[in-house]
Amino acid sequence: MMSLELGRVSIRSFAYEVVKCEVEQRLIPLLASYSGHEHGDLLDLQDVFRRFSFDCICRFSFGLDPRCLRSSFPASKFAVSFDLASKLSAQRAMTVSPLVWKIKRVLNIGSERKLREAISMINELALEVIRQKRKRVGLTTEKDLLARFVGTINDDTYLRDIIVSFLLAGRDTVASSLTSFFLLLATHPQVEARIRDESDRVIGPGRVISSYEQMRELHYLQASVYESMRLYPPIQFDSKFCLEDDVLPDGTFVVKGTRVTYHPYAMGRMEKIWGGDCLEFKPERWLKDGVFFPENPFNYPVFQAGRRVCLGKEMALVEMKTVALFLLQRFDMRLASPHQTQRFSPGLTATFSSGLLVLVRERKASQASDS
Ligand code: HEM
């Protein structure tokens, strides 16, 4: 049901409207307020994109606006509880023995107590949003996911779990993909220039994209986004547990109960799949005669593959491409420490441990239209 709904053009257009509004009304003004400080304020783009993606996914899923991206950088209760719950869950997954957290959970102490409190805060807020939404059924023309489902799903707890899983799935992943994309653009100015050229050719010099449909013609941009996630997949590895004895396509026998892990980060850097230049950032590898050509998803499992493929893939691509188009047209960004090696923090989603500090400069009107 959810995949059918997300496959509709109307929901993709709605995703585009949400993202465009957040970009124009919050992201651009925020970056503009940081531009012009030649040696001045550095902006942590990773933090900005986390706030941005939380606002977007909440508006898309619930029709709720946590306003995390206002320039005062307010801390939303919802976002703080989300952060805490994600961090504590990741820590659980990394403990040597699950026995430790299981005992803490039974005794309701330490990290398990904090996790329980954070989850109940999220659940309360989510249920309140659902109750409010039910009151408005038939009275408004809201287009978010929740509004599409309140009429057909009567079980509030089930509805809450669907929506919360969307927030979880669609926040840090998008923030991570945007952060590494802008890192790669900052270190590959020739790719940045080609994205601007393509945008000028398809959309028009100095003009901003006006519809979701226009985006389909931007093949080089699509290739750049895919290429960036090949090198920096937001979910670097993922595990599944085998329910029954099984045999993998290469003939490997897997006994029931085995944990099987696939590793998109390693796969994205394998010569066997991508050739000798696998470590280079080369969007061209995704183009045939200038047209984007997708790789077999089993070789590129960034959104997973098969029946449990990511349901928000299109929304994620819309978000990334919209942000790229608007920001590249308006700003130049330089890394504060161009030679710094980025290290990842431990966690469920790839995050740079020192953020991504940049200097922002607004492009002159002439540059923006002649690029
Ligand atoms: C670049 C951004 C994203 C990446 C790389 C990504 C990747 C993935 C991956 C690898 C999975 C499979 C996880 C598993 O089964 O263990 C997944 C599942 C999922 N994703 Fe995404 N995702 C992204 C953005 C989004 C967004 C924006 C949304 C929501 C609008 C979303 C919604 C979902 C949902 C609902 C599932 C669960 C599907 C199921 O269990 O059948 N994702 N995603």
Q: What is the pLDDT of residue 12?
A: 81
Share of the chain above pLDDT 90, in %: 61
Q: 352: phi > 0 → left, psi -120 to 50 → alpha, else beta; which?
A: beta
The structural domains of the chain, with segments of one domain joined by +, span 2-370
Question: For residues 43 and 27, is the Cβ–Cβ distance under 8 A?
Answer: no
Q: pLDDT grade, residue 287 (50/70/90)?
A: very high
pLDDT of 174 strictly over 60: yes
Least confident of 111-125, 163-177, 205-219, 257-271: 205-219
Q: Is the pLDDT of residue 70 over 80?
A: no
Q: DSSP alpha helices (H): ranges in the chain?
A: 2-7, 9-22, 28-34, 45-61, 77-94, 98-107, 110-136, 145-149, 156-170, 172-187, 189-202, 219-231, 264-267, 271-274, 313-330, 365-370
Token pair 């220039």 is found at 193
Q: By C-alpha distance, which of 163, 158, 88, 161 is closest to 118?
A: 88
Residue 214 has pLDDT above 60, yes or no: yes
Angle, in degrees to the nearest 10, between helices 45-61 and 156-170: 150
Confidence band (pLDDT; 50, 70, 90) for 347? confident
Please say if the pLDDT value at position 367 is more than 70.
no
Supply the pLDDT for residue 188: 97
For a ligand 1 pocket test, name from 4, 310, 323 the mutation site with the most ligand atoms within 8 angstroms of its C-beta: 310
DSSP letter assigned to residue 292:
E
* Pocket lining for ligand 1, CB < 6 angstroms: 165-166, 169-170, 173-174, 177, 234-235, 238, 302-304, 308, 310-312, 315-316
Residue nearest to atom 1 of ligand 1 (CA): 174
Alpha helices per DSSP H over 232-275: 264-267, 271-274
Architecture of domain 2-370 in CATH?
A: Orthogonal Bundle (1.10)
Q: Give the pLDDT confidence score for residue 213 in this predicted structure.
A: 81
Q: Is pLDDT larger for residue 170 or for residue 40?
A: 170
What's the confidence (pLDDT) of residue 66? 86
Q: What is the pLDDT of residues 100-156, one digit of tens each?
A: 899 999 999 999 999 999 999 999 988 988 988 888 877 777 888 888 888 888 899
56 appears as a binding residue in the annotation: no
Average pLDDT over residues 180-205: 96
Both tokens of residue 77? 């209760």
Rounded to whole angstroms, the Cα distance separating 236 from 83 reads 19
pLDDT digits (tens, 9 = 90+) for 306-346: 888 998 998 899 999 999 999 999 999 999 999 889 999 87
